[in-house]
Amino acid sequence: MTIEKEIQRRRTFGIVSHPDAGKTTLTEKLLLFGGAIHVAGAVKSNKIKKGATSDFMEIERQRGISVATSVMGFEYSGYKVNILDTPGHQDFQEDTFRTLTAVDSVIIVIDAAKGVEPQTEKLMNVCRMRKTPVIVFINKMDRPAQDSFTLLDEIEDQLQIQVCPLSWPINNGPDFKGVYNIFTKSLKLFDPSIQEIEEGLQFEDVSSAELENHIGDDAETLREELELVEGVYPEFNRQSYLEGNLAPVFFGSALYNFGVDELLHAFLEIAPTPQPSTAEERVVKPDEKNFTGFIFKIHANIDPNHRSRIAFAKVCSGLFERNKVYTHTRLGKNIRISSPTAFMAEQKEIVEKAYPGDIIGIPDNGSFIIGDTVTDGEKIHFKGLPSFSPEMFRYIENADPMKSKQLNKGIDHLMDEGVAQLFTSQFNGRKIIGTVGQLQFEVIQFRLEHEYNAKCRFEPLQMHKACWIESDKPETLVEFKKRKHQKMAKDKLGRDVFMADSPFILQMAQDEFKDIKFHFTSEF
Ligand code: GDP
């Protein structure tokens, strides 16, 4: 098959949701369709239950599982589908955001009873920023749900995207009768005792009295609602979806495997093929001859005795081949990747070739950091892997003076993996760790001890935000750094960061230094 054909048949996407909305269940059902797994329960939720007595065990367990399940590829009806899993726990949201840089589209799962939840909103913000096309799956229709129109309003308001229902539910909860597929004009009846995929009943016209035979009085309600849907929502427009302006919506119940095949079929038909990637130097198209790829995730090995890691690379262009000599652009070094792995559902296997849209795992012992680029020789840097301004800060101190080398190495490695962010105060030289959640501090402490044999201690630090600063006027920057020297730090790449104690202090600095831009992500 030509490389163009390989590109055309690839669909690389992420499934995201607020915890508990049904992401894991839906992923599993999609894999069952693809024949990638054969029994339910094979995909483990990578959730960490906060407060569980064995938090650390949970963390370890999750790390083990998520290596296996962070990428799931399968073949279905001529397509090569790559699902990228994202951690649900909000303390690991940065990991999720980075994973979203490697997908071409997203399916957002929403709990029909709870509607849009905080994490859904944050994830959608990232999609909007990157103009990623999204499809919404409203899940758990077998349980009492909010009114469908209310849900759609909520999505439009809170997720700030126009919606276009492509299926419509008939009741919900105990009265849930099924969904009408607006896309294919067919009705599928819900029967909780059947989880097999069944053909829907075809209806040329919803006014057909035949409908009453299947759903009784609900037929009339369905007709009215469909009329309303037609009047209120725009017709589906693929271009608008691909531009990230319109979200098709499906209703169903992942648990009962209901509405999932409609979702999958529509997804395969409309979802984008691997898209061009923007590098600082130029835009890289998937069908270019030369290979390019970037590292979006690094995973430590579960076996603490072998401190090797897996770097996950997304193929952006060209054909990747095992054992070919490529360039590690940041180090300016030639590398040969002898055991790249591909992920087919539960299994990892060595691959000879990979195409744009594919994800490969590269065994690594410390030469990659997130954002690194591998190419056929060209020196390019892909954009879009920002660090977000952390929300919690602590000084990190060595708790075992005999092990300072191990500690520094461990901190270095963990930061490369993107576990948290490290800043060095320019005032007192102390190391500051910034995270988005408390759990990350626990992970760092635990992993330093178990993988690097080093002990650390955290000391409280009252801090509101770290912002990257920039200005066209070098003299203003110098002046600012002088005035705020107690609050200046460098990030891991040596960039200037202003550590603001409080929103008030930040506001004052912004008011006073109008020529300085304060950025809340590291990429601007
Ligand atoms: P995640 O946190 O988003 O991955 O959510 P899970 O897939 O782990 O689902 C959370 C809980 O909701 C589990 O107990 C599931 O069995 C349940 N669940 C998921 N989908 C459905 C559904 O369609 N109907 C019902 N009744 N329960 C569901």
Q: Token digits for 260? A: 């999932």
Cα 263 to middle of ligand 1, angstroms: 17
Cα 496 to middle of ligand 1, angstroms: 44
- CB-side neighbour CA atoms (13 Å) of 289: 1
Sign of CA dihedral 445, 448, 451, 455: negative
Look at ligand 1, atom 28, and give the residue with the nearest C-alpha.
255
Give the contacts of 272 (CB within 8 A, at least 6 positions apart). Answer: 11, 104, 105, 133, 242
Task: Look at the block and give the residue holding tokens 């744009």.
Answer: 356
Q: Token digits for 53? A: 């007595």
pLDDT, mean of residues 451-472:
92
Predicted-assembly ipTM surpassing the 0.95 threshold: yes
User: Where do the domains of the chain lie, and which CATH numbers do they carry?
Assistant: 15-71+88-270 (3.40.50.300), 277-375 (3.40.50.300), 392-519 (3.30.70.3280)
pLDDT surpasses 90 at 86:
no
pLDDT surpasses 90 at 419:
no
Give the contacts of 294 (CB within 8 A, at least 6 positions apart). Answer: 277, 313, 314, 316, 371, 372, 373, 374, 382, 385
Q: Burial code of 395-410, b = ≥16 C-beta within 10 A, e = fewer?
A: ebebeeeebeebbebb
Q: Are 347 and 336 in contact (CB under 8 A)?
A: no
Cα 88 to middle of ligand 1, angstroms: 13
pLDDT, mean of residues 13-34:
88
pLDDT surpasses 60 at 43:
no
Rounded Cα distance, 476 and 465, in Å: 21
pLDDT surpasses 90 at 10:
yes
The backbone torsions φ and ψ at residue 461, rounded to the nearest 5 degrees and listed phi first, read -145, 120
pLDDT surpasses 80 at 424:
yes
Give the contacts of 109 (CB within 8 A, at least 6 positions apart). Answer: 15, 16, 17, 21, 22, 23, 26, 137, 139, 254
Tens of pLDDT along 110-163?
999 999 999 899 889 889 988 999 999 999 999 999 999 999 999 999 999 999
Q: What is the pLDDT of residue 382?
A: 85
CA distance to 13, 39, 403, per residue, from 394 (Å): 35, 44, 20
The backbone torsions φ and ψ at residue 11, rounded to the nearest 5 degrees and listed phi first, read -135, 110
Q: Which residues are documented as binding site for GTP? A: 17-24, 85-89, 139-142
For a ligand 1 pocket test, name from 17, 18, 20 the mutation site with the most ligand atoms within 8 angstroms of its C-beta: 20
Cα 44 to middle of ligand 1, angstroms: 12
Q: Burial code of 33-61, b = ≥16 C-beta within 10 A, e = fewer?
A: bbebbeeeeebbbbbbeeeeeebbebbbe
For a ligand 1 pocket test, name from 255, 256, 258, 260 the mutation site with the most ligand atoms within 8 angstroms of its C-beta: 255
Pocket of ligand 1 (CB under 6 A): 17, 19-25, 45, 47, 88, 139-140, 142-143, 253-255
Q: What is the pLDDT of residue 241?
A: 98
CA distance to 27, 28, 30, 37, per residue, from 40 (Å): 11, 7, 11, 8
CA distance to 185, 187, 437, per residue, from 152 (Å): 20, 21, 31
Task: Look at the block and give the residue holding tokens 């499809």.
Answer: 135
Q: Quote the percentage of the chain above a pLDDT of 70.
A: 88
180: β partners? 168, 187
Q: What is the pLDDT of residue 495?
A: 92
Q: Are 101 and 296 in contact (CB under 8 A)?
A: yes
Q: Which residues are documented as binding site? A: 17-24, 85-89, 139-142
Look at ligand 1, atom 21, and give the residue with the nearest C-alpha.
255
Tens of pLDDT along 481-520?
999 999 999 998 899 999 999 999 999 999 999 999 998 8
Q: Which candidate, 311, 416, 437, 428, places its Cα nearest to that of 374? A: 311
489 SS3 class: strand
